[in-house]
Amino acid sequence: MTSPRNGLPPKKLIAWGWDTNYPEKIQSHIRKMELMPWDGIVLGYFKANKAGKEEMFEWHCFGAHRFERSDLATTIETLKAIPFEKFTDNFLRYNVQPGDVDWFDDFSSIIHNARLWAEVARETGMKGWKFDVEDYQEKLFTWKKQKYASTKSFEEYAAQIRLRGKQIIEAIQEAYPDITLLLSFGASYVARQPHAARRLAELTDYGLQPAFITGLLEGAGPQVKLIDGQEHAYGHLTPEDYYRGYHGVRREALSLIPVELHEKYRNKMDVGVAMWANFQLSLPVTTDKFWPAHYLTPEDRLKLFEQNIYYAIKTTDEYFWLYSEQMGWWEEGYPSPTPAGALDAIRRSREKIIADEPLGFDLSPQVAEARRQ
């Protein structure tokens, strides 16, 4: 955690990856995990026992299945029993999956599940949700993929999705009035498209997503915190990338938000930022030879990692989240071992931010050359 900045909240680093799943494992190893230079984690893999069948709650919560507290009893008790000390800001994952209910159909199970999961987050001492709005299975936010697209216009679907977003957040805050919702990405993701505001109906994946964000924003009460987590920042490699990302959330996304909500957006939607450790470090197993970091020396990869943590922290309002796949920061045995020096790079970048020191090096020539490869 960085120090407070003239009354602004301190900057916090949240880890999410294969080694922050399974609450029972976290409960057993939390002291070792809290040696890591993080302020909290995203927890996932929540077992629910539904009619004798085990399901992962976060992959079935946004659909026709209605979950009851009894289905999650074991998971809830495990979450309550995790003895967090150093990690002060922890988030439960909640996905818009499986997405098998049309926006115009009966949405009661989804609204019920959202209220239930907000209750669980509050009761277990979590800061809130990692609200993952990525469309993994169905085309939730593509107009032409909707169930009634042949009879309902893009505008009709946008209005209905806005309503559903409003209903969902009203249910959430009824259970947890001061919840923090760390969205994987907000309207800034779509705003990156050229002339996005005029082309939403044509977009092949997320054209309806700004309507959902608008609904969340419209319904959010005074204590709720919304964060555009900029998952699309996974590919950032330079300081300029991070500053452009900040501008994208603060300014460009407004083109997709109704004018009457602009002031609320400015006051309510924080800028967050994401980093994918595998991409920055060009780690084995998940690496692709076309990733720019592949063409850097191991020493420069560590410098790139340090540089981009530094600028991610500088360009977030409060939360920066670090995602990793097939690797474990605190746990051995994953396909991609953590590179020597990576944890020290995190610590150095945070120390420089706290001390208000410059980064101290410039990788622009190396990154430019790597991008040309």
Query: By three-state DSSP, how is residue 276 classified?
Result: strand
Domain spanning 12-372: CATH superfamily: Glycosidases (3.20.20.80)
- Span 157-205, pLDDT tens digits: 999 999 999 999 999 999 999 999 999 999 999 999 888 888 898 887 8
Cβ–Cβ under 8 Å, residues 310 and 286? no
**Of 16, 154, 5, which is closest to residue 94 (Cα–Cα)?**
16
Tell me what pLDDT residue 360 has. 97
Tell me what pLDDT residue 320 has. 98
Give me the chain's average pLDDT, please: 95
- Mean pLDDT computed over 337-366: 95
Give strand pairing partners of 271.
228
**Of 188, 194, 278, which is closest to residue 234 (Cα–Cα)?**
278
Quick check: 4 pLDDT over 60? no
**Of 193, 171, 196, which is closest to residue 181 (Cα–Cα)?**
171
CA end-to-end span of the chain: 37
Q: 326 versus 101: which is more confidently predicted?
A: 101
Tell me what pLDDT residue 192 has. 94
* Sequence-ordered alpha helix ranges (H) in the chain: 23-33, 73-81, 108-123, 154-175, 188-191, 196-199, 209-219, 239-250, 262-268, 277-281, 298-314, 342-354, 364-372
Cβ–Cβ under 8 Å, residues 201 and 157? no
Choose the weakest-confidence range: 44-48, 133-137, 167-171, 238-242: 133-137
Query: What is the rounded distance in angstroms from the CA atom of residue 214 to the CA atom of residue 141?
Result: 13
Quickly tell me which residue has 């850097």 as its tokens: 296
Query: What is the rounded distance in angstroms from the CA atom of residue 221 to the CA atom of residue 318?
Result: 19
- Mean pLDDT computed over 271-275: 99
Tell me what pLDDT residue 145 has. 94
- Mean pLDDT computed over 10-23: 95
Tell me what pLDDT residue 239 has. 97
Confidence band, pLDDT 50/70/90 cuts, at residue 95: very high
- Span 277-290, pLDDT tens digits: 999 999 877 777 78
Tell me what pLDDT residue 329 has. 94
Q: What single letter denotes the amino acid at residue 25?
A: K
pTM tops 0.85: yes
Distance of CA 340 to the CA centre of its chain: 26
- Mean pLDDT computed over 251-265: 98
Tell me what pLDDT residue 3 has. 57
- Mean pLDDT computed over 238-248: 98
Query: What is the rounded distance in angstroms from the CA atom of residue 329 to the CA atom of residue 336?
Result: 10
> Which pairing describes strands 128-132 and 180-183: parallel, antiparallel, or unpaired?
parallel
DSSP letter at 329 equals S
- Span 120-155, pLDDT tens digits: 999 999 999 999 999 997 789 999 999 999 999 999
Query: By three-state DSSP, how is residue 139 classified?
Result: coil
Going across the sheet that includes 269-271, the strands are: 269-271, 225-228, 180-183, 128-132, 91-95, 40-43, 12-17, 319-324, 273-276
Q: Whats the size of the chain, residue-wise?
A: 373
- Span 59-86, pLDDT tens digits: 999 999 999 999 999 999 999 999 999 9
Q: 224 versus 51: which is more confidently predicted?
A: 224
Query: What is the rounded distance in angstroms from the CA atom of residue 287 to the CA atom of residue 343?
Result: 19
Confidence band, pLDDT 50/70/90 cuts, at residue 50: confident
Tell me what pLDDT residue 81 has. 98
Confidence band, pLDDT 50/70/90 cuts, at residue 211: very high
DSSP sequence for 92-111: EEEE--B--S-TTS--HHHH
Tell me what pLDDT residue 6 has. 61
For the chain, give every domain's residue range: 12-372
Tell me what pLDDT residue 1 has. 66
Tell me what pLDDT residue 288 has. 72
